[in-house]
Chains A and B, each alone.
Chain A
């Protein structure tokens, strides 16, 4: 505060974050040691995870008789071991894309409703309920998905196959129960809905009042205010919210493992049972695997780790870039 009035009496020495360390009091030393130690511990843990994954993955890949990237099979415990991540990579990405396509528009809609449409006494409970969805353990989603969603979606599958088979992805070549990538995607969509909704809602609530009034004063309706002021301001925030949701969808394990009937067949038909994801595959195989089998699963885990890291990195980049769009540079 004093910095704005340079003509005042000599200013007090600046309060740097480190000025406390010079007192040498025991409490300061202990606390600074603790916080420094925690920071270092975190780095050590991260480095050892990365090192462990890379080391074991290298062992597995060196023994792989197939091609780690392109083989459509997973016989890692066999002799010689033959395994590849192609099906898992495609399955992970496809189920996450389906989840995003379904979840993001709904989440944006809910967020807009909470931030701009709902009366206040309704907005708070709805926001709370959406946040509550995030607290449901994923195994519960998995059980619900397997018992309720799978039979329920059989009809939708038939309908999609009947009218949209020409889109290729909705062409059902193997009729059966809906233990397929579409069901997985729908389940993942429900699971990432809360995070995408609450981050989007926060961004929409941050739209400066003056930006909205600019649109209102031009005679914009509520929807036009949203289109002119809220969505352009919130766009990058919604993108980063989606990335956070994507990060969760990529790594989801139990819900996928419970619902999907996995196979190592490469198929882009969303309605056919089969396929798999990294996390689901690890969960399904880890118990019975040993030796190279475990290392192979660890190698696939490393790929998932890198994939998630990339997605989160992209999200952070977009969040950082958002500052330019904030409209605060007026």
Chain B
């Protein structure tokens, strides 16, 4: 299950433009790692290289290595579709399949993997919705469309959909930026529970959120607009927010820029 991520020398491009440059870091299993940094610094791009979603953007290209335990996601014989089945992702805006019921949304990934037995699906859907703290709110309307839920519920539905296939890693790209404070709190609590089972990487613009939910924090920055984003430092969250080793990190978290 939860696996270690080991990134070395990773650069990502949009066409000829280099968006992130030479990033290396290690993400421990069963922990939450937060990516912070100003807009455009490449933290979302970097996140999307971890499940090979970057290359679905036209012109998207990646150099370098991402090891999941010992397997290189960018190895020559690795199928990106298979990678995405083991590295789940939750997006900025909740994106349940609009025409599908709540049940079918959660079951979608399982069906892609070939699970069709009704009883097995029902078990996993219940377990996943409970895991996403959504079961009590939707158990009486599993056949209603997922798009009828509130924004926060939809985002938890997307989390349930992502964890239903038992991924090794869960990537979250600003999962709370479209949500109100109460829904945000619900998701943050959920992240705390999920890290018992998954390796979680979360991109956030909210530094309090990074401080609340993460064990380790990585600070990204870019020299100037149009320059590639770089990893400035990664450390224990407590250290990053109290005594970071790089001046730029301190400037950013204390609000002096960005």
Contacts and interface: CB of A to CB of B under 8 A. Distances in A.
Interface of A: 120, 208, 210-211, 213-221, 224, 228-229, 232-233, 235, 325-327, 329-330
Interface string B77-102: 00001111110110101111111100
A329 B147 contact: yes
Contacts of B165: 218-219
A106 B100 CA distance: 26
B126 to A, nearest CB: 19
Interface in B130-164: 147, 151, 154, 158, 161-162
B95 A330 contact: yes
B91 A232 contact: no
Contact of A232 (B85, B94, B98, B161): B98
A213 B95 contact: yes
A220 B112 contact: yes
B103 to A, nearest CB: 15
B81 A214 contact: no
The 10 A-B pairs with the shortest beta carbon distances in the complex, nearest first, are A219-B85, A327-B98, A217-B89, A232-B99, A219-B84, A210-B95, A218-B109, A214-B95, A219-B81, A221-B81
A220 B81 contact: yes
Contact of A228 (B82, B93, B94, B97): B97
Instruction: Point out which of B56, B58, B113, B151 has the most chain A C-beta atoms below 10 A from its C-beta.
Output: B56
Contacts, number: 80
A104 to B, nearest CB: 20
Given A215-B97, A216-B56, 20 more contacts: A210-B91, A211-B98, A214-B91, A214-B95, A214-B96, A214-B97, A217-B53, A217-B84, A217-B162, A218-B85, A219-B83, A219-B85, A219-B86, A220-B81, A233-B99, A327-B99, A329-B147, A330-B93, A330-B147, A330-B151
A329 B151 CA distance: 10
Interface in B60-87: 81-86
B51 interface: yes
A330 B96 CA distance: 9
A120 B59 CA distance: 12
Contact of B93 (A210, A218, A326, A329): A210
A116 to B, nearest CB: 12
A196 B155 CA distance: 36
28 contacts: A211-B95, A211-B98, A213-B95, A215-B108, A216-B84, A217-B53, A217-B88, A218-B85, A218-B109, A218-B112, A218-B161, A219-B81, A219-B83, A219-B85, A219-B86, A219-B165, A220-B81, A224-B112, A228-B97, A229-B97, A325-B98, A327-B147, A330-B93, A330-B94, A330-B96, A330-B98, A330-B151, A330-B154
Interface in B150-198: 151, 154, 158, 161-162, 165
Contacts of A208: 95
